[in-house]
Structure 1
Amino acid sequence: MEYRFDFGAGEAEAGYTKVPAGTAYDKALGYGFEGGIVNERDRGGPDKLRGSFCIPVNASFLVDLPDGNYTVTVTMGDQIAPTTTTLKAGPNRMILHEAAASAGQFLVRSFTTNVNTGQLKLSFSGIAPRVNAVTIRPAPQATTIFLAGDSTVTDQETFPYAGWGQMLPLYLNAEVAVVNEAKSGRSSKSFLNEGRLQPILDRIKPKDFLFIQFGHNDEKTDEERATDPFTTYKQYLNVYIKEARERGAIPVLITPVQRRKFGADGKIIDTHGDYVTAMKELAAEENVPLIDLTASSTALYESMGDEPSKALFMWAYPGEFAAFPEGAKDDTHFQELGGIRIAGLVKDGIKELGLMPLCVYLRD
């Protein structure tokens, strides 16, 4: 079944459901806006879809759907004013970042996203956001990338915190969906022991991908998380590899993203040590594709320098962000810019490996 929504004032385009600005989400209705401020305009014009629109400022449009992959096409624009729209899907997964259109220009963007809570959530923000129309259709054939990892990967909920996994959709076209099951504080051991791999295995299908990044918390000393690089760390990672392969999926190992720790010589001081070496050994032993995110993130930080690289991380002055009134000094976790840049390094790794078909599904 295909869902078609026409936003704003006036009559609906044929075959579309009209969604005025005042349409609050209602379970009986099965769709509507939540949060923020939503206004509308009707400019008339060549057709009803482009003539009218809603202006959703930090508002989300919710649609109740059965779980699965869906291809969503969004039309955004205004006949007389330039627009800038940021769009996130689900739990803060970045789809469009400050997508700009000139007056009279209409952007039509398609992407595929996964629904596993019975509801699709599209969140709009930006300097001058617009939404003219949204169509949604099932995409069971889409390739899915499942992510297993820690807080540097996960879908962070508190702005501007961001894991690279929630920014990865920016670099993928509508042939690919991302399911981010990464969880803060987990190691390769605790993620398994808590049963967090099983929901991935229940849904993964042949030719899907399982991206695996652990290391930050394997380095901790508590019994729940600690692993030894060349024994238990490799053993736990091998479980992910074998379970994915048993289901016809493709495992990809990703070395842990580097922390921001500069030495006096302006070079990054490595904090992951033998865990990176051990993962590379395992990749060679099991013939698993590997993206060396430790190396590429180190090169990124060093190219920027000590002070400028803080812009990638959760460094903030008091009062700079509402959620952090006293400021923050965090050299491990990213804000949105950092998540976007690190996801870009993962995209580069996919391209360098020639991972088919992912490497032909990449956006620049």
Structure 2
Amino acid sequence: MNYFYDFGPDGTPAPGYTKVTADDVYNPDKGYGFADCSRVSERRRVEEALTGDFCIPFGATFLADVEDGNYIVRIIAGDACAPASITLSTNGERLVLQEVRTLAGQYAREMFAVNVRGGQLKLSFKGLAPRINALEIMSSAEQITLFLAGDSTVTDSSEDGFPFCGWGQMLPSFFKHDVAVANHAQGGRSSKSFIAEGRLDAIMEELKEGDYLFIQFGHNDQKTDEARHTDPSTTYPEYLLKYIEAARSRNATPVLITSVHRRYFDAAGKLKDTHGAYLEAVRKLAEEEGVTLIDLAEKSRRLFEELGPEGTKSVFLWGAPGEWMNLSGGVQDNTHFQERGGLRIAELVVEGIRENHLQTLIMFLR
């Protein structure tokens, strides 16, 4: 199924498109609309199909009911009379477009990929001057899907989770529409509990030849409860091997990723290693199995030591009382990231993709 929407004031939509006005609030009967219209306005500038009018969705989210799967999404965004600036996130607040800017009379035509689960595509608009003229949602079976299995340092934030951010949430913005990121990472999971809950089985239902499975666990494998704990010398690599075998059974490519470091420094300003033998276990398994390794632990160590104890507060989830509405009492979290941190760690993962010559991903990087 394909879906085409023409945004702006009431009038005749472009042929093949459905008209969406600033007053079109979502309801399940029609299957599309803005989640909240209170911050959406509209303008008509000129009498031109698609580009002549638009909606202005300040901090608004557009919803469209679609079948689960991969989609190529194309937007037209601009204004005949004024500059525009748009940042766009999709389901789970995954960043896909960052500060796309146009001058008066210019129109950005941008394409990106979205992996939809749960039967609904969500587009969240931000930016200094957001515009949306047209939206095309086209089903696609040809894209590479990059699956992520991991914990809270990887996962997507919830809609009300700002400023918390996993690095997997930021990864889509680095790829063209040829690669769809399917982030199955979930907070609190270990390599063991992820499998026990059927999450690897869910990935296997969609995983196909040519896809990738990126695997980063370790934070919760260290926990002592039976449901999550694994031993770095035995059960931890045994569970990781299950992910490798799952990917290979579908002719997909497994990629092991060492755990990103926590924010703990010694008196000399050197980062403390809180993962210990779990890191070496991943490196050893990658060598034994001939699996691509992105050593995110080493990459994040270098980054965090460069930033230092104070600088890393802008990467991790640190904030003073009143700084963030969702964390009004303040927060000092040395494990999880804010959006800036999620983006920096995603950059390190992309660096690892390049270093390991994963060509079918490299060729589709922006």
Give yes or no for TM over 0.5: yes
Q: Show structure 1 runs of 4+ deviating over 6 A.
A: none
Shift in Å, 1:103:
2.4
1:225 to 225, 228, 252: 228
CA distance in 2, matches of 1:304, 1:286: 34
Q: Secondary structure at the match of 1:290?
A: strand
Partner of 1:42 in structure 2?
44
Shift in Å, 1:195:
1.7
2:188 to 180, 185, 190: 185
- For structure 2, list consecutive stretches of 5 or more residues without a partner in the other structure: none
Partner of 1:242 in structure 2?
245
| Cα RMSD, aligned residues only | 1.2
Partner of 1:2 in structure 2?
2
Partner of 2:58 in structure 1?
57
CA contact (8 A) 2:46 2:80 kept: no
Identical positions, percent: 53
Q: Does 1:291 align with 2:302?
A: no
Normalised TM-score (structure 1): 0.97
The residue correspondences of 1:261-272 to structure 2 (distance < 5 A) are 261-272=264-275
1:254 to 233, 253, 257: 257
Normalised TM-score (structure 2): 0.96
My pick for the range that moved more, 251-260 or 223-232, is 223-232
How many aligned positions are there? 362
Partner of 1:75 in structure 2?
76
CA distance in 1, matches of 2:285, 2:175: 28
CA distance in 1, matches of 2:51, 2:60: 20
Partner of 2:166 in structure 1?
163
CA contact (8 A) 1:3 1:136 kept: yes
Q: Secondary structure at the match of 1:50?
A: coil
Q: Secondary structure at the match of 2:341?
A: helix
CA contact (8 A) 1:112 1:139 kept: no
CA distance in 1, matches of 2:270, 2:183: 32
CA distance in 1, matches of 2:305, 2:264: 10
Query: Residue by residue, what CA displacement relative to the aligned partner does 1:17-36 show, whole Å, maximum 9, x if unpaired?
Result: 21111111122212111125
CA contact (8 A) 1:189 1:236 kept: yes
CA contact (8 A) 2:73 2:135 kept: yes
The residue correspondences of 1:1-364 to structure 2 (distance < 5 A) are 1-9=1-9, 10-35=11-36, 37-44=39-46, 47-157=48-158, 158-363=161-366
Shift in Å, 1:13:
2.1
Shift in Å, 1:360:
0.7
Query: Residue by residue, what CA displacement relative to the aligned partner does 1:163-211 show, whole Å, maximum 9, x if unpaired?
Result: 0011100101100101111110111111112221110011111111110
Q: Aligned AA for 1:40? A: E
Q: Secondary structure at the match of 1:302?
A: helix
- For structure 1, list consecutive stretches of 5 or more residues without a partner in the other structure: none
Shift in Å, 1:80:
2.1
Q: Secondary structure at the match of 2:95?
A: strand
